[in-house]
Amino acid sequence: MADVHLPGTLPPLFRDLPRRVDVDAATVDEAIARLDERWPGLRDRLCASRTELRPHIHVYVDRERAALDTALAAGSRLDVIAAITGG
C-alpha cells in the first residue's frame, strides 16, 4: 500500500477527494489509475497522455523525483506536486 499525497489544487475538483490516500499499486501509473477509478477524471488532471505527466505536475517516490513507470514498494510515499508556476 502506497501513501499518496496530493496537491491542494486537486481536492476542489473531485467530491470527497482527500489530500492523502492509501493506494494499492505497483507503479506511479497504477496508483493514478486506482485513484481515477474512485474519482473519474482524476488521471486527466495529472497526465497529458497515456505515457506522460502534465508538464507542471511532478511526482516523487520516497522523496526521489519519479515518473509514471517508477515502482512503488509496500509503504512507499508518493508525493504529487503542482509545481510552482506563473503568477
Q: Does 33 bind other proteins (CB under 8 A)?
A: no
If the CB atoms of residues 9 and 24 are measured against other proteins, the closer one turns out to be 9
The grid coordinates listed for 3 are 501513501
CA distance 86 to 24: 34
Contact 41, 14 (CB under 8 A): yes
Q: Does 17 bind other proteins (CB under 8 A)?
A: no
Q: Does 13 bind other proteins (CB under 8 A)?
A: yes
CA distance 78 to 43: 15
Write out the residues near other proteins by the rule CB under 8 A: 7, 9-10, 12-13, 40-41, 44-46, 48-51, 54, 56-57, 82-83, 85-86
